[in-house]
Amino acid sequence: MTRPPLLRLAASAVVAGLFAAPAWAQDAGRATLDGPLAAPPPVPTGGDLPVPADIPELHAADDDPIGRRFVEPPPVPEAPRGLGTVVEREQNAAFAGAPLTLDEALELAAANNPTLVQARAQVQGTLGLAVEAGLWPNPVFRYVGEQIGVDREGETDTPGEFQGATLTQEFVTADKRDLSRAKFLQRTRVAEWAAVSQQWRVCNDVRVHFYQALGAKETVAIREDLLKAAEDAVVTAREQWNLGQATRSDLHLANVALQEARLNLLMAENDYLEQFQTLAALIGLPLETGAVVGELDGESAEIDFEQVYREYLDEAPQVIMARQKLREDQITLKRELVEPIPNIFVEAGSGYNFEALETTGTASVRFDIPIFDRNQGNIRRAEADLVRQRREIQRTEMLLRRELATQYRRYLTARQHVEQFAEVILPEARAAYKNQLDAYAEDRQQWPDVLTVQSSYFDLRQRYIGHLVALRTSETLIRGYLLHDGLNVPDPLPPGHLDVTAQPR
């Protein structure tokens, strides 16, 4: 808006006076006219005002005097890339690939998830240790040349008093080999339970992400209906505009809601893509995105916290693994306790005695005398490991209880919501929606109100899907011993203090 010159002059004068008028300048107007002037602030004009980025065709008619002349309603905004109107979309592109059921997904994962192979390899590796630890020590061959250059009377130096060879064999005492083998076999059992854990992790994750993908797919369907409702709201607003029952602002806001509904649908599709590809990664195959097929809904037995926890104490791989490890530690202690009993090294050989000029034999027996090193340090460590592992079992049990408590809280919340949504909230919302439709059919309700209730119903169904996914996730994790992360490296075996020695014992 351009100000009249006089007004602009006066405004400039006042502003300038505020900045520049000295104390003597009581007459601000005269002083600013006669005295030195601060630069007046620029007077904004219509042409100088900043104009926000605009879409001319959307708002062309808004330049008409508001409410003085009928103008056509603003055009419906174009759909974002990849999204037409619901009418135009016969099938959602997100579900174009081959369908996938939960059983198929589990089978594929069992065959292709790399961590399962890793876990099995870990078992094999540990078994190798058991083999290795139980093997006899190799005999030691030794060439012996003693006192080379000994002078013999009448002769110069001889090749030596004795030239020959010996074989030394270490005789492992105190069943050390058996104990070592037993120890590593026990560790193999630990590794086997680690592999079982990994199978649970993979299965649980496949189930959880299958349900999440299923939920995402159903959310897409509901978002499509919400988009239909938003499209209807746009058409309705345009009808209202034609009847003088809506303002231009209402139409713009309807366009906004439409575009948001479109984005929400795209977002739901993106979510589905992510969920499906996450599932495919867990399966271990680069699958083309298709539709997951299954039911989120359905009856499931109620879970009792204490009962589940008691089952955990008996069955959970984590607990069993810790107990197996305790057994291993007990064997380890036994093994370390016998370590001071010296192995016997028996050596025997034969050679030629150049002094006696005849073939002679040699034999020796030796063993350590456990005076200083009675393996007391390792025994102490093994004892400490035993204590640690006993507490590890307890820690595992408590950790499970804590995680179960967290998951059980989610389960309870989800189950309560699912039940109430299924039994009360959705039927009530559906009844309200039906009621509105019936009222509309009898000319007793207005369509915008019907649309509002309709959208509420679809929103509630979307929330119901979220609760169902949460319930299935919690159920899966609780039934599956809280194991998840099926793409993580299988659990490393629990540490042992002598694992790094070249020859396991």
Partner 1 sequence: MSAAEARRSFLKAGTAAAAGAFAANAVRPAAAQENPRQDPTPAPGAPTDPPGGAQPRGENDVRADYDGFSRYQPSRGNDPDSKWYIGKEVPGFRRGEEGPAPFIAPDVEKLPYTMENGWKVFRLNCTPVRREFLPGYYIDVYGFNGSMPGPTIEATQGDKIRVIVKNDLPEPTSVHWHGLELSVQDDGASHLTQNMIEPGKEYVYELHPHEEGTFFYHSHVAMQETFGMVGWFIIHPRKPFDPPVDRDFGLIFQNFRIDPMTTVVDSWGMDFNWHTINGRSGPYTTPLVCRHGERVRIRIMDFSPIQHHPIHLHGHTFWVTGHEGARVPKTAWIPRNTELIAVAQASTLELIANNPGDWALHCHMTHHMMNHMVQHVGPRLRGQADTERYTANLETRPAVDLNSKALGEVPPGYPQMMQGMKMDPRAMEKVWNRREMKGMRATAPKTIHGLFTALRVLPDDLYRLVMESDEPVEKGAVFAEIVRRFGDYGRYQWAPMMNMNGGMNGGE
Which of these, 283, 349, 331, 304, lies nearest to 109 by C-alpha position?
283
- How many Cα atoms are found within 13 Å in the side-chain-facing hemisphere of 375? 18
Residues 75-104 that bind partner 1 (CB under 8 A): 76, 85-87
461 makes contact with partner 1 (CB under 8 A): yes
Which of these, 244, 142, 120, lies nearest to 194 by C-alpha position?
120
- Nearer to partner 1 among residue 86 and residue 326 (C-beta): 86
- Nearer to partner 1 among residue 178 and residue 239 (C-beta): 239
Out of 70, 141, 143, 171, name the contact with partner 1 by CB under 8 A. Answer: 70
User: What is the number of residues in the chain?
Assistant: 505
457 makes contact with partner 1 (CB under 8 A): yes
- Nearer to partner 1 among residue 464 and residue 481 (C-beta): 464
Which of these, 81, 461, 21, 57, lies nearest to 263 by C-alpha position?
81
Show the beta-strand stretches assigned E in 148-221.
162-171
456 makes contact with partner 1 (CB under 8 A): no
In whole angstroms, the minimum distance from the beta carbon of 275 to partner 1 comes to: 22
Site pattern 242..281 for partner 1 (x: CB under 8 A): xxxx------------------------------------
Which of these, 241, 196, 185, lies nearest to 61 by C-alpha position?
241
228 makes contact with partner 1 (CB under 8 A): yes
435 makes contact with partner 1 (CB under 8 A): yes
Out of 181, 209, 238, 323, name the contact with partner 1 by CB under 8 A. Answer: 238
Question: How many chain residues interact with partner 1 (CB under 8 A)?
Answer: 45
How deeply is 104 buried, as exposed, middle or buried, from its count of CB atoms within 10 A (0-12, 13-18, 19+)?
middle
In whole angstroms, the minimum distance from the beta carbon of 273 to partner 1 comes to: 22
DSSP states of 301-359: PPPPHHHHHHHHHHH-HHHHHHHHHHHHHHHHHHHHHHTTSPPEEEEEEEEEETTTTEE
In whole angstroms, the minimum distance from the beta carbon of 414 to partner 1 comes to: 21
Residues linked to residue 143 through DSSP beta bridges, in sequence order: 165
In whole angstroms, the minimum distance from the beta carbon of 436 to partner 1 comes to: 8
433 makes contact with partner 1 (CB under 8 A): yes
Q: Which residue carries 């097929």 as its tokens?
A: 293
Which of these, 483, 505, 433, lies nearest to 199 by C-alpha position?
483
204 makes contact with partner 1 (CB under 8 A): no
- In the 8-state DSSP scheme, what is residue 423? I
Site pattern 100..129 for partner 1 (x: CB under 8 A): ------------------------------
The per-residue b/e assignment along 449-479, b for 16 or more CB within 10 angstroms, e otherwise, is ebbebbbebbebbbebbbbbbbbbbbbbbbb
* Terminal-residue alpha carbon distance, the chain: 93
Out of 309, 352, 367, 440, name the contact with partner 1 by CB under 8 A. Answer: 440
229 makes contact with partner 1 (CB under 8 A): yes
Only one of the segments 249-257, 370-378, 447-455, 477-485 lies at the binding site for partner 1 (rule: CB under 8 A); that segment is 447-455
Q: Provide the edge-to-edge strand list for the sheet that holds 162-171.
A: 140-146, 162-171, 344-353, 358-367
- Nearer to partner 1 among residue 244 and residue 492 (C-beta): 244
At residue 465's C-alpha, the angle toward residues 461 and 471, to 5°, is 140
Only one of the segments 126-134, 370-378, 382-390, 454-462 lies at the binding site for partner 1 (rule: CB under 8 A); that segment is 454-462
Out of 309, 352, 367, 447, name the contact with partner 1 by CB under 8 A. Answer: 447
Positions touching partner 1 (CB under 8 A) are: 70, 72-73, 76, 85-87, 221, 225, 228-229, 231-232, 234-236, 238-240, 242-245, 430, 433-448, 450-451, 454, 457, 461
